[in-house]
Amino acid sequence: MRELSSRRRFLRKVAFAGGGALLGTVGLNQISPRIWREPLEFEPNRSYWARSQPPQNPPLTEDIAVDVAVLGGGFTGLSAAYYIRSISPHKRVVVLEAKGCGNGASGRNGAMVLTMTADRYMHFSSAPAIDKKIYDLTAGNIRELSKLSFATGIDCELEANGALQVLVTSEDVRAAKAYVQEARSLGMPVEFWDKQRLVSAIGTEVYAGAFFDPNGGHIHPMKLVHVFKAAAENAGAEIYENTTVASIEEGREHLLHTTSGCTIRAKSLVLATNAFTSRLGFFRNSFVAVHEFVAVTQPFSERQLAEIGWHKRVPFNDSRTEVFYLGLTQDNRIHIGGGSPSYFFNSGVGEVSDAASHFSQLQRELVRIYPKMSGVSFELGWDGVVDWSIDESPSVGCTGKHKNIFYGLGYSGHGVNLTSIFGRIIADLEAGREEPWKQYPFLNASLEYVPNEPFRWLGAQSGLAWYRLTEP
Ligand SMILES: Cc1cc2nc3c(=O)[nH]c(=O)nc-3n(C[C@H](O)[C@H](O)[C@H](O)COP(=O)(O)OP(=O)(O)OC[C@H]3O[C@@H](n4cnc5c(N)ncnc54)[C@H](O)[C@@H]3O)c2cc1C
């Protein structure tokens, strides 16, 4: 039986076609990072969500000494700063963000708030009891997001009405039914929906059924960035934006150098730089930075939404490997993301040259799902970079010679909810409180090896081509 796809499982079987070639060219694999340096560039966020980006703070303009330097103003970094200050209010904590907070994946994503981790979504590991704990942890965190939103007074438009994975093939239906049966026996309140129930909820007739998780939901991701930024600042963290860290000298006290010439002396370092982490030379062989595309329509009236039959305000993603995901904004725009992603040599950035073809693919898919959408054009399209680990497992932990570098990454397109759990774990680890998290597989998990260029590019391209050919 085909294994039921997790939300965005597409790299697993890639297993890097370059692997064979690699055996004969180990030398090139080793020296290639010195030949091809990853660019330290950050494209501006042009997403629909970016319209709600919080006002930016001034950049760092002087040398400072701190207890904790957090690199990256996305969900991971801002939540880590918030939790570190909550645990240790005496510590000086700074967040350094290259652009504005939410410029990375946190302010550009598909807005689905999901339980579990990407590798365990609708898939049991060999330890189902632990999977259940992860379910409870992630479901509980969604309630925390709601509380924090209330506490900061910033409405992040969380609609915790559940989330659907819509099923494409009859094999997917069989696998989902089996999963739901086992999940329910463990006490997870998930459901299998037949086609009829699905049609009455979201209107589309193209799927064979669905997996429904009542604990999932939809959010305005940039407003969630705002929630965490406010929470971190209210807790006493300092946030400097338009401050790019160009290099890091590791030590008992780290020395961070910014592109503008400032130096930060820090006892602890938090790498919350997600798909950009390898650009600083860290975790270079742990993930692949892949571009995904999202587009949004103009708002629809309640009557128009009723006409297409999207009655239940839940987001959904399909069960394909190159997954599509859709949701509704609060003003009833439909956003759709996914399809074929792109990988650029050496994790390159720059204007995405093939963007138009990605948006055409999204348009075709929208009309396929909702034929009444034919003639509707997108108001806006954008892309964002995902930190894909080979088997889609994330990792949070502590590294470095002096065990004073903390990190969370490998979310593999499943991080809107998980990131702030990792922020909480980072804070505990930084305070020396590892014990409560030892039971979870993502603590200090070593991620599968990803080769350097040019093997990475070869592997990613052949894997993506394979999926384009074989996708149902
Ligand atoms: C298109 C897309 C769709 C997605 N859809 C979903 C979804 O629907 N549901 C879901 O659960 N997940 C989704 N994800 C994944 C989710 O958005 C991410 O896992 C999550 O936002 C990661 O947050 P982060 O804080 O770790 O990283 P980011 O938000 O990427 O933040 C990293 C920050 O670090 C900064 N930075 C990097 N290097 C430096 C440096 N040297 N100096 C200073 N700052 C630096 C960057 O500017 C950036 O702001 C999606 C991702 C993308 C790209």
- pLDDT, average across residues 79-106: 98
Distance CA 346, CA 366 (A): 32
Residue 76 near ligand 1, beta carbon < 6 Å: yes
Residue 222 near ligand 1, beta carbon < 6 Å: no
Q: Are 322 and 467 in contact (CB under 8 A)?
A: yes
- pLDDT, average across residues 126-141: 97
pLDDT bin (cut points 50, 70, 90) of residue 465 is confident
- pLDDT, average across residues 129-135: 98
pLDDT(21) > 60? no
Q: How far is the CA of 274 from the centre of ligand 1 (A)?
A: 6
Determine the pLDDT at residue 2: 40
Q: How far is the CA of 389 from the centre of ligand 1 (A)?
A: 14
pLDDT(136) > 90? yes
pLDDT(17) > 50? no
SS3 305: helix
Rounded to a whole number of angstroms, the distance between the first and last alpha carbons of the chain is 15
Distance CA 97, CA 243 (A): 5
Q: Are 406 and 429 in contact (CB under 8 A)?
A: yes
Q: Are 452 and 145 in contact (CB under 8 A)?
A: no
Which residue's entry shows tokens 């820090």? Answer: 266
Nearest to 267, CA basis, from 62, 431, 90, 68: 68
pLDDT(429) > 80? yes
Determine the pLDDT at residue 3: 45
Atom nearest to 102 CA in ligand 1: 49
Task: Classify residue 62 as exposed, middle or buried by CB count within 10 Å of its CB (0-12, 13-18, 19+).
Answer: exposed
Determine the pLDDT at residue 22: 55
Q: How far is the CA of 75 from the centre of ligand 1 (A)?
A: 7
Which residue out of 71, 142, 273 has the highest number of ligand 1 atoms within 8 Å of its CB and is therefore the one to mutate?
A: 273
pLDDT(10) > 60? no
Distance CA 24, CA 31 (A): 14
Nearest to 233, CA basis, from 77, 397, 466: 77
pLDDT(23) > 70? no
The two tokens of residue 363 are 């348009």
Residue 85 near ligand 1, beta carbon < 6 Å: no
Residues 6+ apart with CB under 8 A from 90: none
Q: How far is the CA of 392 from the centre of ligand 1 (A)?
A: 15
- pLDDT, average across residues 377-387: 96
Residue 382 near ligand 1, beta carbon < 6 Å: no
Q: How far is the CA of 72 from the centre of ligand 1 (A)?
A: 9
Distance CA 436, CA 431 (A): 12
407 alpha-carbon distance from chain centroid: 14
Q: How far is the CA of 11 from the centre of ligand 1 (A)?
A: 18
pTM of the model: 0.96
Residue 96 near ligand 1, beta carbon < 6 Å: yes
| pLDDT tens sequence across 33-44 | 888 888 888 999
pLDDT(381) > 70? yes
Residue 100 near ligand 1, beta carbon < 6 Å: no
pLDDT bin (cut points 50, 70, 90) of residue 463 is confident
pLDDT bin (cut points 50, 70, 90) of residue 9 is low
Determine what percent of the chain is predicted with pLDDT higher than 70.
94
Atom nearest to 42 CA in ligand 1: 47
**Torsional sign, CA 289, 333, 153, 218:** negative
Determine the pLDDT at residue 466: 82
Distance CA 426, CA 444 (A): 11
Atom nearest to 416 CA in ligand 1: 11
Lowest mean pLDDT among 28-37, 63-72, 376-385, 444-453: 28-37
Residue 228 near ligand 1, beta carbon < 6 Å: no
Distance CA 82, CA 151 (A): 13
pLDDT(350) > 90? no
Distance CA 188, CA 184 (A): 5
Lowest mean pLDDT among 2-16, 261-275, 396-410, 442-456: 2-16
pLDDT(448) > 80? yes
Distance CA 122, CA 7 (A): 9
Atom nearest to 100 CA in ligand 1: 49
Partnered with residue 268 across adjacent β-strands are 68
| pLDDT tens sequence across 159-192 | 999 999 999 999 999 999 999 999 999 999 999 9
Atom nearest to 386 CA in ligand 1: 53
> Considering the domain 12-22+24-29+43-470, what is its CATH architecture?
3-Layer(bba) Sandwich (3.50)
Residue 270 near ligand 1, beta carbon < 6 Å: no
Average pLDDT along the chain: 93
Residue 334 near ligand 1, beta carbon < 6 Å: no
pLDDT(279) > 60? yes
Which parts of 241-313 are beta strand (E)? 245-249, 254-258, 263-271, 288-296
